[in-house]
C-alpha cells in the first residue's frame, strides 16, 4: 500500500510539474506576443521590472530573482546596454561591485509593454472565473513558499 501511495504521489508531482511548465510556456508566449514590435524578450522585461522596482541592483540580485544563469544574464545585460535600456556602473562605495540602472528609454518601454501585457492577459484570462483566479493565486503563493523553503534547506531533507 505504501509503495502504491509513493508511486501515486510521485506521478501527481510529475503531473503538477508538467502542468506548471506548460502553463509557464503559454504565459511566456503571451509575453512574447505582447512584446511584438517592441523588440524585448520576457527575460529582459523581467530585468527592467526588477531594476525599476528595486532601484539600482547588482547582477547577483537580478540572478536571485530571475533564476537565470550568470553567462545568460551577462549577455542579456550587454544587449540591453547596447540598445540603451540599462546602464551598468561601478558602485560608488565599493568599486568591486557593479550596479544595473534602467534608462528613461527602459521606463517608456516598460510602460508600453505593461499596457500591451494587460490587454493580452485580459484576453487570455477573461473566461477564467475570478473565484478560481483568487484560489489559484493563493495556491501558487503557497507553492512558491514551498519551493523557497526547499531551496533554503528548511524541509528537513524530505522530498
- Calpha distance 135→128 (Å, rounded): 12
| 1 against 152, higher pLDDT | 152
Q: Which residue has the cell 475570478?
A: 130
Contacts of 61 (CB under 8 A, 6+ apart): 50, 54
43-85 pLDDT tens trace: 888 899 999 999 899 999 999 888 888 999 999 999 999 999 9
Residue ranges and CATH numbers for the domains of the chain are: 56-117 (1.10.10.10)
> Whole-prediction pTM value?
0.67
Q: Which residue has the cell 544587449?
A: 79
Amino acid at each position: 500500500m505504501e509503495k502504491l501511495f509513493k508511486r501515486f504521489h510521485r506521478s501527481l508531482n510529475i503531473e503538477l510539474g508538467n502542468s506548471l511548465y506548460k502553463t509557464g510556456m503559454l504565459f511566456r508566449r503571451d509575453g512574447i506576443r505582447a512584446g511584438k514590435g517592441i523588440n524585448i524578450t520576457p527575460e529582459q522585461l523581467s530585468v527592467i521590472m526588477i531594476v525599476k522596482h528595486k532601484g539600482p541592483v547588482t547582477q547577483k540580485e537580478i540572478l536571485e530573482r530571475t533564476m537565470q544563469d550568470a553567462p545568460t544574464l551577462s549577455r542579456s545585460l550587454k544587449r540591453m546596454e547596447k540598445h540603451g535600456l540599462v546602464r551598468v556602473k561601478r558602485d560608488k562605495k565599493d568599486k568591486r561591485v557593479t550596479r544595473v540602472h534602467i534608462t528613461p528609454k527602459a521606463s517608456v518601454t516598460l510602460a508600453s509593454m505593461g499596457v500591451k501585457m494587460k490587454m493580452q492577459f485580459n484576453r487570455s484570462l477573461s473566461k477564467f472565473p475570478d473565484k478560481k483566479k483568487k484560489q489559484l493565486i493563493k495556491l501558487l503563493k503557497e507553492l512558491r513558499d514551498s519551493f523557497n523553503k526547499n531551496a533554503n534547506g528548511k524541509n528537513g531533507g524530505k522530498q
